[in-house]
Structure formats: structure tokens, C-alpha cells
């Protein structure tokens, strides 16, 4: 039996992170330059039911039956076995690889889940449709994020730019004038569950102030969608900076993110903001026309450990 592989892209949130957990819209897009891959190979000499999971990139190797019910990699495999009613799969090894930095706002957790669900269900002869892949990946996101909105698993499963509202049907939209974004990494790993949890504590302590911030984000996201659908990316830059200021007020920025946002503006970016959970991880910056590579270099000079240019919509 040949090995079966599936890949899933990374993602960035353009607008609306955190507020999206509280019902506001957000805009996200896949990033094809980074990906997670899951490969399942049959092990003909091992006993039926034995599933070994290896993720060499993070030094992980374990048997499925040794993992707790809440281990995200184990959950991804078990969710497929349960969905397909396969209590004893053929013996196999699942290998996870890819190049999405962990805990950096690029959706590594969701991409790994989507890749595993796709590869494992295909290995069992019943590749699951996107809707089911998305639903299973969402359950696993709850382990990563605590109270996820579902935006990461959705944009990664469908691999298209989305306008996302929690609980609403998926909406994709057309970008009138394609543009490029620079994604720059602070190099600081920051688990999304922590910043999401801290925002929740603030919201419980000061519901009115936080709700007002979330609503301002929502208004800005709706405007950003209009701007992307009708042209003029220049206004997007101003909206990104306004969104960053609101994220600072939610306490999810950090000195390193703020310094890189400032460095982007100094280097001529039309706007910049943190992307994803915050406190570390990545920021995105909107270059002036033809300036993407120069802006990426300026951000590396200013301390970003990585900076890549990604087209929107993805090519």
C-alpha cells in the first residue's frame, strides 16, 4: 500500500483577531509558502491497530494508545477513527512535517490537524469532505486555543481568503486589486491560548470597555472588506494601524511587535499590525507598490527573525 500524504497551508489574519471570538467579523487568508504535511504509511509487520505518530521537527514520537484523550495529534487521529467507525485501523506510521513555525500566529496547529484528518481518512479509504475536515479540526482547536472562533481551521481547510463570522456560513470574497503583504516573525513563541485567555479575563472584568473595543474592530473589518472588494489598498494600511492600536488596548501586543510595526512604518509601509494571537509571533505589513522585498529586508534589519512576501489573493 503506497504512503498517503496531505498538506495544508498556513494562514494569516488580516483583520479582526480576538474580537472574532466575541462575534465580530474577521478577515483571514491562506499562506501557501508555509505548510504542514501528514504522511501515513502502512506497517505490514506491526500488529493491527498499532498507530505510531512521529513529528521529527519537534522531536516527537509516540504510539497513539499512549497519548491522552486531549493530545492534539492523538485527537486528530482518533477523531477520524471515530467518524469512520474504525476501532482497529491497519498498523501504520503517521509522519508530520512542514515549515510553519509553532505558536507564531500562522496557524500551525490547525494546519497539522487538517493535514492529519485528510491523510488519515484517505489512508482508511474514505477521504472526508471539507465540511467534516473543518468540523473535526475545530474540535482540536479547542485544545490549542481554549475558546477558538474557528477562523484558523476554516481558512486553512478551504484554502481561500475568508470573511469569517463565528457560527455563520463561510463567506469568501474577491480581492479587486491583488496586492502583497510582508509577514515578519518576532521569533517569540506565544501560545494563542494564553492571549485568548487573558482577553477573556479582561472581558469578564470590564465587559463594557472590552465590548466597545470589539465593536470598533468589527466596524473596521467591515470597512476593510469593502476596500478590498472595490480597490485602493492604500486605505487598508490605515485600517491595519487602527486595528493594531485596538489590539494594544486589548493587551495582546508586545514591545517587540510594536517596535517592528514602527520599523515597518518608518521603512515606508502603508500600514502594519500584529497578526493572530499576539504577544509575539508574526506581524503583517502592507508595502507601497513594488516595495515588498525592500520592506521585508528592512524588517529583518529591525530584528525580525524571518520575513516573507505573500500575494493576496494567493496565487
Minimum CB distance to ligand PMV smaller for 121 or for 243: 243
C-beta of 149: minimal distance to ligand PMV in Å?
A: 3
Minimum CB distance to ligand PMV smaller for 141 or for 180: 141
C-beta of 20: minimal distance to ligand PMV in Å?
A: 5
Element (H, E) at 213: helix 207-230
All three cell numbers of 266, joined, read 518608518
What is each CA distance from 42 to 50, 90, 117, 211, in whole angstroms?
A: 10, 7, 16, 51
Instruction: List b or e across 146-167, with b for residues whose CB sees 16 or more CB atoms inside 10 angstroms.
Output: eebbbbbbbbbbbbebbbbbbe
Residues that bind ligand PMV (CB under 6 A): 13, 17-18, 20-21, 105, 107, 145, 148-149, 151-152, 192, 196, 276-277
Rounded Cα gap, residues 196 and 277, in angstroms: 7
152 is catalytic: yes
Active-site residue identified among 65, 152, 185, 232: 152
Minimum CB distance to ligand PMV smaller for 218 or for 276: 276
All three cell numbers of 63, joined, read 504510539
Ranked by CB distance to ligand PMV, the top (closest) residue is 276
All three cell numbers of 127, joined, read 477521504
C-beta of 66: minimal distance to ligand PMV in Å?
A: 27
Minimum CB distance to ligand PMV smaller for 11 or for 78: 11
C-beta of 65: minimal distance to ligand PMV in Å?
A: 29
> For residue 306, with 0-12 CB atoms within 10 Å meaning exposed, 13-18 middle and 19 or more buried, which class applies?
middle
- Give me the active site residues, please: 152
Amino acid at each position: 500500500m503506497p504512503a498517503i500524504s496531505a498538506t495544508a497551508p498556513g494562514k494569516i489574519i488580516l483583520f479582526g483577531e480576538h474580537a472574532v471570538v466575541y462575534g465580530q467579523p474577521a478577515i483571514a487568508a491562506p499562506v501557501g509558502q508555509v505548510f504542514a504535511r501528514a504522511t501515513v504509511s502502512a506497517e505490514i509487520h506491526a500488529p493491527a491497530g498499532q498507530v505510531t505518530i512521529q513529528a521529527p521537527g519537534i522531536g516527537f514520537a509516540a504510539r497513539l494508545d499512549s497519548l491522552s484523550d486531549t493530545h492534539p495529534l492523538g485527537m486528530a487521529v482518533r477523531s477520524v477513527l471515530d467518524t469512520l467507525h474504525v476501532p482497529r485501523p491497519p498498523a501504520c506510521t503517521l509522519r508530520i512535517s512542514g515549515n510553519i513555525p509553532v505558536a507564531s500566529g500562522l496557524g500551525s496547529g490547525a494546519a497539522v490537524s487538517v493535514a492529519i484528518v485528510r491523510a488519515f481518512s484517505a489512508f482508511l479509504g474514505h477521504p472526508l469532505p471539507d465540511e467534516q475536515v473543518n468540523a473535526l479540526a475545530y474540535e482540536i482547536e479547542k485544545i490549542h486555543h481554549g475558546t477558538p472562533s474557528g477562523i484558523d481551521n476554516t481558512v486553512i481547510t478551504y484554502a481561500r481568503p475568508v470573511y469569517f463570522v463565528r457560527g455563520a456560513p463561510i463567506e469568501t470574497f474577491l480581492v479587486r486589486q491583488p496586492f502583497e503583504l510582508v509577514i515578519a516573525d518576532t521569533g517569540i513563541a506565544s501560545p494563542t491560548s494564553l492571549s485568548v485567555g487573558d482577553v477573556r479575563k479582561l472581558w469578564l472584568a470590564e465587559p463594557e470597555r472590552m465590548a466597545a473595543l470589539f465593536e470598533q474592530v468589527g466596524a473596521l473589518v467591515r470597512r476593510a472588506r469593502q476596500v478590498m472588494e472595490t480597490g485602493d489598498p492604500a486605505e487598508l494600511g490605515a485600517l491595519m494601524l487602527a486595528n493594531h492600536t485596538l489590539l494594544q488596548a486589548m493587551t495582546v501586543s508586545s514591545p517587540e511587535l510594536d517596535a517592528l510595526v514602527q520599523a515597518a512604518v518608518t521603512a515606508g509601509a502603508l500600514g502594519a499590525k500584529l497578526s493572530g494571537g499576539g504577544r509575539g509571533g508574526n506581524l503583517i505589513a502592507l508595502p507601497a507598490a513594488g516595495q515588498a522585498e525592500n520592506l521585508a529586508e528592512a524588517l529583518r534589519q529591525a530584528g525580525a527573525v524571518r520575513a516573507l512576501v505573500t500575494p493576496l489573493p494567493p496565487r
